[in-house]
Amino acid sequence: MIKKFSTALLGAVAAVGLASAASAGTLDDVKAKGFVQCGSNTGLAGFAIPDASGNWTGLDVDFCRAVAAAIFNDATKVKFTPLSAKDRFTALQSGEIDLLSRNTTWTMSRDTSLGLKFAGVNYYDGQGFMIRKSLGVTSALQLAGASVCTQTGTTTELNVADFFRANNLKYEVVTFEKSDEVVKAYDAGRCDVFTTDASGLYAERLKLTNPDDHVVLPEIISKEPLGPLVRQGDDSWFNVVKWVHYAMINAEELGLTKANVDEKMKSTTNPEIKRFVGAEGKFGEGIGLSNAWAYQIVKLVGNYGESFEANVGVNTRLKIARGQNALWTKGGLQYAPPIR
């Protein structure tokens, strides 16, 4: 009994020690250094890509900008660290970045055993297959014996193994560490199939010599909820990141856009909008920010739908429909708890 008690006590002491080591105040650090260090993709059209002068754009980039807008009232206070699939988690664990916003799938093991924590889903995705039209294949179930190109350190690798095993199909996998190597290998005909998240297929297809010679098969073989993540043990920072995501979704639901937020703020009698823009309540102060935090996000970056349409939507080169990423009020999955 005594032994049990002392072990439990030791455990509690250890836990307190661990909590104080891990609860390093990222928000205070970010405020002190004056910018957010955001882990991003090395270059994925529509999601995170730098132009020739080093200006980053994309849905995942906008998320980092929204965090900066909420904290600094300045969406440019972000620095990007391009990370491969393999290196992304270590960069976050080591403190090299403040958050990771890079087409990363929320899975149980990533959420529970890496010392990291997902803050939301900014893109509901699933894994698909692309092949040459000339192969005449119309379903992934006809891929017996195919060679498949994928990237190391991704859920893609794991799902493809599951899919072929579950359907009792033989295949050969060709893995690369860099996404450009995967695309080049597929383009050069080193493999029959290119597989990744459907969003990645839309984006990477643009890099192929003749994009129109390729087709995406109808099967979506997995759930890939993609979202930003932070280190475990820093709940204040987790709350900031999580609520920036929810603010972008709530803004869309409330009809607040970059263009109309100033006017709506003045004319509205809607209490939800008043809370959102900080005219009522102290919601920003509650998470260590100014009460205009959410207004700043919309004014400087836009709502979730605006960011989606500008970066990956039907009028962009990627031409992606809202689908599961529509708001819950429009038949999609994007839903945010209320600000109140």
Interface residues toward ligand GSH, by CB under 6 A: 41-42, 44, 84-85, 103-105, 151, 154-156, 179, 196-197, 200, 204, 224, 226
Shortest spacing between CB 159 and ligand GSH, in angstroms: 9
Our CB check for ligand GSH shows the closer of 105 and 334 to be 105
Closest CA to 244 of 7, 69, 29: 69
Our CB check for ligand GSH shows the closer of 194 and 276 to be 194
Instruction: Provide the 3-class DSSP secondary structure of residue 57.
Output: strand
Neighbours of 20 (CB within 10 A): 10
Our CB check for ligand GSH shows the closer of 159 and 232 to be 159
Our CB check for ligand GSH shows the closer of 123 and 293 to be 123
Our CB check for ligand GSH shows the closer of 81 and 154 to be 154
Shortest spacing between CB 208 and ligand GSH, in angstroms: 13
Q: Counting beta carbons within 10 angstroms of the beta carbon of residue 110, is it exposed (0 to 12), middle (13 to 18) or buried (19 or more)?
A: middle
Shortest spacing between CB 125 and ligand GSH, in angstroms: 7
Shortest spacing between CB 33 and ligand GSH, in angstroms: 25
Our CB check for ligand GSH shows the closer of 39 and 305 to be 39
Our CB check for ligand GSH shows the closer of 154 and 334 to be 154
**Residue 304: how many CA atoms within 13 Å on its side-chain side?**
26
Shortest spacing between CB 29 and ligand GSH, in angstroms: 26
Closest CA to 199 of 102, 335, 333: 102
* DSSP string for 285-327: GGGTS-TTHHHHHHHHT--HHHHHHHHTSTTSSS----GGGSB
Shortest spacing between CB 102 and ligand GSH, in angstroms: 7
Neighbours of 13 (CB within 10 A): 10
The residue of the chain with the least Cβ separation from ligand GSH equals 200
Query: Residue 186 in contact with residue 217, Cβ under 8 Å?
Result: no
73-89: burial string, b at 16+ Cβ within 10 Å, e else: bebebbebbbbbbebbb
Shortest spacing between CB 54 and ligand GSH, in angstroms: 16
Closest CA to 217 of 306, 294, 130: 130
